[in-house]
């Protein structure tokens, strides 16, 4: 079960805390993905504040949702989920605002609880303020957890703290929850009180520790969320470096999804990768690029300040700088798309070029086509989109308007400044000529 009912007052936001994004996804989505990796028989999420929005954003039909109408503590939250889970289950309790917990840390907890024990995840911290302290006897056995507001001065000096993550057999958990009281400083039903109940029942309490301290960090403020974002990104940077990717600065890359890289890939600073991005061998990505749901072929160079989304780029292409490749675009091998060129829902064949200051929208462009500076496809008539077809080996001069729907035949040449409103036959030169005139003595308008 994942506890995700809290409001998160310190976030100072109308958005439910577990929906705040980490690496482009809600905090809760990260925890759900980790839980899924353990192959549970059932997954129950306890929601409360912003419950409707949380369900809508996560949108997973296989999740069992339990609603905690009033937030009366973690023990009370677990009570709401218990009816959704089978009587012979081993229950793992996670938190929707602790997104970096690793599956390898959780499996030992599940294994220990599966043998009938109560398993706790604890860690040693330099500054334990705010955490529940793990109280042990002289022999080192866990006796109970003392919450900060209820702890004695001696207990507050303890540095082993509770992370909140635990696992237990369902039947025993139900018994312990039924015996909880809210006789404490906060008037809440603490899940941590089940530790003392387990000890009283003679149930062994097993303790496990996370592989890395950051795994158990939760989010209670925007500052903590920002710190966790950097930790996530440094983890991603380390993974990329270990796989052989060259990063100009590991502290200046953001992966907000999945990034797969081949051999000898290099990435400059301040690049953002969203959704699912695949960079093949030898790809070079310049500074300050944004790639979202993109595949890039071998040896292609993405020059600085380029944005590519929902597109495929072939091998040995050259894109940018300052290019925008919009959704639905497919660029073949050796295509050049240069500075201040926008391509949308179009295909460009092998070796075609639009090197600067052009717009290619809703178009099918053949191979070895040259699109001159200032050329645009006029694909929108104010109500509907229309398609432009440019066949192989066409040369289009500067400042040409192609008013769709229109087809330019193979091998045609269109002179600079032309406005094309009819199909152009293959071969030959097409012009829309106008006579140049001069008006002597003409005066510019002046301000009144």
By annotation, the residues acting in catalysis are 356
Residue 390, phi then psi, degrees to nearest 5: -120, 115
- Tell me the helix, strand and coil percentages in the chain, rounded to 5: 20, 35, 45
Overall size of the chain counted in residues: 448
Helix H segments across 303-419? none
| One-character DSSP codes across 220-263 | -SHHHHHHHHHHHHHHHHHHHHHTT-EES-TTSEEEEEEEEE-T
- Is the peptide bond between 321 and the residue preceding it cis, with omega within 30 degrees of 0? yes
* Angle CA 396–400–404, to nearest 5: 95
Neighbour-count burial of 14, counting CB atoms closer than 10 A to its CB (0-12 exposed, 13-18 middle, 19+ buried): exposed
d(CA 25, CA 6): 18
CA 231 to chain centre: 14
Peptide bond into 405 cis (omega under 30): yes
CB neighbourhood size of 219 (10 A): 25
Dist. CA 407–CA 388, nearest whole Å: 6
Q: 233's torsion region: left (phi>0), alpha (psi -120 to 50) or beta?
A: alpha
Residue 132 DSSP code: P
The answer to whether the CB of 411 falls within 8 A of the CB of 429 is: no
Q: How far is CA 170 from CA 92, 167, 329, in A?
A: 9, 9, 52
Distance CA 198, CA 194 (A): 6
CA distances from 111 to 3, 108, 145, 166, 401 (A): 21, 5, 22, 11, 68
Tell me how far the alpha carbon of residue 162 is from its chain's centroid. 29
d(CA 163, CA 133): 10
């Amino acid at each position: 079960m994942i506890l995700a009912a809290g409001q998160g007052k310190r976030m100072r936001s109308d958005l439910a805390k577990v929906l705040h994004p980490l690496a482009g996804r809600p905090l809760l989505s990260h925890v759900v993905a980790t839980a899924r990796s353990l192959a549970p028989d059932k997954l129950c999420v306890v929601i409360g504040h912003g419950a409707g929005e949380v369900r809508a954003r996560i949108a997973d039909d296989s999740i069992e949702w339990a609603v905690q109408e009033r937030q009366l503590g973690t023990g009370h939250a677990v009570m709401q989920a218990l009816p959704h889970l089978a009587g012979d289950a081993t229950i793992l309790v996670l938190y929707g605002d602790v997104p970096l917990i690793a599956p390898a840390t959780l499996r030992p907890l599940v294994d220990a609880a599966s043998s009938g024990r109560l398993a706790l995840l604890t860690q040693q911290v330099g500054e334990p303020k705010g955490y529940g302290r793990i109280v042990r006897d002289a022999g080192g056995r866990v006796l109970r957890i003392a919450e900060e507001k209820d702890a004695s001065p001696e207990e507050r000096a303890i540095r082993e703290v509770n992370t909140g993550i635990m696992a237990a057999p369902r039947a025993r958990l139900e018994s312990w929850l039924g015996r909880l009281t809210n006789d404490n400083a906060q008037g809440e039903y603490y899940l941590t009180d089940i530790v003392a109940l387990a000890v009283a029942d003679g149930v062994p309490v097993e303790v496990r520790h996370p592989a890395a301290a950051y795994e158990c960090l939760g989010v209670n403020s925007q500052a903590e969320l920002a710190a966790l974002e950097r930790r996530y990104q440094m983890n991603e940077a380390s993974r990329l470096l270990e796989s052989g990717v060259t990063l100009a600065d590991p502290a200046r890359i953001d992966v907000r999804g999945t990034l797969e890289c081949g051999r000898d890939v290099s990435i400059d600073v301040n690049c953002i990768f969203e959704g699912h991005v695949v960079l093949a061998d030898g790809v070079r990505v310049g500074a300050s690029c944004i790639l979202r749901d993109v595949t890039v072929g071998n040896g292609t160079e993405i020059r600085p300040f380029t944005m590519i989304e929902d597109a495929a780029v072939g091998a040995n292409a050259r894109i940018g700088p300052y290019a925008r490749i919009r959704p639905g675009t497919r660029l073949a091998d050796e295509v050049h798309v240069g500075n201040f060129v926008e391509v949308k829902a179009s295909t460009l064949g092998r070796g075609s070029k639009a090197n600067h200051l052009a717009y290619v929208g809703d178009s099918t462009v053949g191979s070895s086509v040259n699109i001159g500076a200032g050329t645009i496809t006029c694909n929108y008539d104010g109500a509907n989109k229309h398609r432009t077809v440019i066949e192989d080996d066409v040369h289009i001069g500067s400042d040409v308007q192609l008013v769709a729907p229109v087809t330019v035949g193979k091998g045609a040449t269109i002179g600079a400044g032309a406005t094309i409103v009819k199909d152009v036959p293959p071969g030959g030169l097409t012009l829309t000529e106008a006579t140049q005139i001069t008006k002597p003595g003409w005066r510019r308008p002046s301000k009144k």
